[in-house]
Amino acid sequence: MLKQAQKLKQTQTLSPQQIQFIKLLQVPTIELEKRIQEELQENPVLEEGKESDREEQEFGNDDASTTDDTNDEFDDIPEIDPIDEVNLDDYVNRDDVAGYKMYGDGDVSDDKELPIPMMDTLGDSLLMQLSFLNLNEVEQQIGEQLIGSIESDGYIRRPLEAIVNDLAFLQNVETDLNHVEMVLKKIQHFDPPGIGARTLQECLEIQLKKRDTHDPIVKIAIKMIVLCFEEFKKKHYTKIQKRLGIDDEQMKDAIEMIIHLNPKPGGVNSNAASAQFLTPDFIIKEVNGRINISLNGKNAPDLRVSRQYGDMIDAFDKTPKKTKKMREEVRFVKQKLDAAKWFIDAIKQRQDTLLRTMQAIVDYQMPFFLSGDEGQLRPMILKDIAEIIQMDISTVSRVASSKVVETDFGIYPLKYFFSESISTESGEDVSSKQVKSVLKEMIETEDKKKPLSDDKLEKLLRIKGYNIARRTVAKYREQMNIPVARMRKEL
């Protein structure tokens, strides 16, 4: 039997202004600059410049127009009909009149003009090398399909069976696995060495075989990768020596050769193209014992609403006969005026929130910002700062997740200053950053022939007064990308 029932449910709906603010708050400075340029291009009502600058330009330099009667302030400005002066057909998109578009984070339109790097891509380089092989038509198409399947790090991870199917269904090229494998082997001879490999093992083997294979050490290195790769990954050197029948010196030389190979051959070309400059959101300077906090200038752009369009609304209100086209155009302008005001308010609110958050972090971590000593960092979580600035934890999280601060001691991600607390023997709470620093120093100074296990590291930390479990030692070690003791062992 079906029953009807009423149920009360409380939900929170964000206003367009709140959505605008949230999206702007979480983007870093470099993205904010792009976002503002997009808004300026999309909204004709929004323009760059200070409101005060415009007022000075229009009225401040004209002594003759200044009188004691403020009502006559605009008498000297010639009257124009703004609706006739501005052609809104250049801006009005009929699909856009119903509501103002809200943008996602860092979305780039398809027709946006992007800078083109003055260099060949990895794909271009490989296709050029392919053209030198004098392949038949089918092999050329196979080669192009294989090159198109090479990922940015230089590997082909798509199964060759799937590439055979791609050729059949997408290009109407009938081939088989052996034929594709044969063309792939040719591509694997291209530069950079190791390109087109399907696994790390194959990548290293390809690079070694491009060396002088008559060299005894190269021969040993190839055998080590082909026959003992699992033992090599786990650093079971004794097993490798027994299996290959080599002495300590040969073992050392072969390993030295292997570790200098390139595990990501595609990175040779892609690194330069993908390099980005780190732009700090905050700049912090210590002057005579005082900490000065400032926002990067790009975080505080000068934006204003165009007076021209405000005048247009006024002129429309005074016009006795209003056509359908005029009403449509004015409705569009009013929507864009509201959108511009929302955007300017969201930018100002973003600036205020960033500064309040950064000021609270500096006050909380003042010893660090004065000394640069990592050991001076106090345990600090998002809730601590949220309570100080009286904002939601999610707001602090958005600020901390993608912002960068430039200090006298280097550039740090803002989230660097947040850490959990660890108790010492004396009952004092210290930052996990401090424990990690001590742990890293222990590992850097250990005997590499007998590296310290996590159990030994735990005992040494306890001797120093840090009460942490072995699993916590392992977690901190992994967070710092430090391998286990067996993998740190050297011959």
Who's near 62: CB < 8 A, 6+ residues apart? 76
As a whole number of angstroms, the distance between CA 192 and CA 272 comes to 15
Q: What is the pLDDT of residue 68?
A: 43
For 259-308, give the DSSP string.
Answer: HTS-S-TTHHHHHHHH------SEEEEEETTEEEEEE-GGGS--EEE-HH
333-373 pLDDT, tens digit per residue, is 888 888 888 888 888 888 999 999 999 999 999 999 998 88
pTM for the full model? Answer: 0.49
pLDDT for position 53: 57
Residue 220 amino acid letter: I
Which of 105-114, 137-146, 299-308, 464-473 shows the highest mean pLDDT?
137-146
Which of the listed ranges 5-19, 101-115, 426-440 does the model predict with the highest average pLDDT? 426-440
Q: Mean pLDDT, the chain, as a whole number? A: 78
Instruction: Give the whole-angstrom CA distance, residue 183 versus residue 185.
Output: 5
Task: Find the range with the poorest average confidence among 95-99, 187-191, 196-200, 483-487.
Answer: 95-99
Tell me the mean pLDDT in the region 291-300: 81
Q: Give the DSSP letter string of 17-46.
A: HHHHHHHHHHS-HHHHHHHHHHHHHH-TTE
- Whether residue 204 is predicted with pLDDT greater than 80 in this model: the reply is yes
CA 475 – CA 471 distance, rounded (Å):
6
Nearest of 193, 191, 196 to residue 144 by alpha carbon: 196
In this predicted structure, the answer to whether residue 112 has a pLDDT above a threshold of 80 is no
Instruction: Tell me what pLDDT residue 365 has.
Output: 92
CA pair distance 461, 441, nearest whole angstrom? 11
Instruction: Give 421's strand partners.
Output: 431
Report the b/e string of 289-299 with b at 16+ CB within 10 A: eebebebbeeb
Q: Mean pLDDT: which of 147-156, 265-274, 476-485 is highest?
A: 147-156
**Mean predicted confidence (pLDDT) in 51-61:** 53
Question: Which has the higher per-residue pLDDT, 490 or 176?
Answer: 176
Residue-wise DSSP of 202-235: HHHHHHHHTS-TTSHHHHHHHHHHHHSHHHHHTT
Backbone angles phi, psi at 379, to 5 degrees: -60, 135
Distance between CA atoms of 148 and 153, rounded to whole angstroms?
13
Query: Which candidate, 46, 41, 55, 34, places its Cα nearest to that of 106?
Result: 34
What is the pLDDT averaged over residues 108-119? Answer: 36
Where residue 3 falls among pLDDT bands split at 50, 70, 90? low
pLDDT at 115 over 60: no
Sheet with strand 290-295: strands edge to edge = 290-295, 282-287, 404-407, 410-413
The residues facing 429 across adjacent strands are 423
Q: What is the 3-state secondary structure (H, E, C) of 47-89?
A: EECCHHHHHHHHHHCCHHHCCCCHHHCCCCCCCCCHHHHCCHH
Find which of 30-34, 35-39, 191-195, 275-279 is predicted with most confidence, using mean pLDDT. Answer: 191-195
Q: Which residue has the tokens 């299996």?
A: 243
Angle (CA) 364 366 371, round 5°: 150
Q: Which of 33-47, 55-69, 102-116, 306-320 is the least confident region?
A: 102-116
The residue ranking higher by pLDDT, 12 or 260, is: 260
**How high is the pLDDT of residue 82?**
38
Q: What tens digit of pLDDT does each residue of 153-165 get? A: 899 998 999 999 9
Instruction: State yes or no: pLDDT of 208 exceeds 60.
Output: yes
Ranges 124-128, 129-133, 268-272, 473-477: which has the least confidence: 268-272
Per-residue pLDDT for 423 more than 70?
no
Strands (DSSP E) contained in 238-295 are 282-287, 290-295
Kindly state the tokens that stand for 7.
């149920």
Instruction: Tell me the pLDDT band of 278, cut-offs 50, 70 and 90.
Output: low
Quick one: which of 476, 480, 473 has its CA closest to 455? 473
Q: Pick the residue with more confidence: 114 or 62?
A: 62
The secondary structure of residue 300, as a DSSP letter, is S
Would the pLDDT of 211 be above 70?
yes
**Best CA proximity match to 433, nearest among 470, 396, 480:** 480
Q: Grade residue 111 by pLDDT with cuts at 50, 70 and 90.
A: very low
Q: What is the DSSP letter of 91?
A: T
Residue 179 buriedness (CB in 10 A; 0-12 / 13-18 / 19+): middle
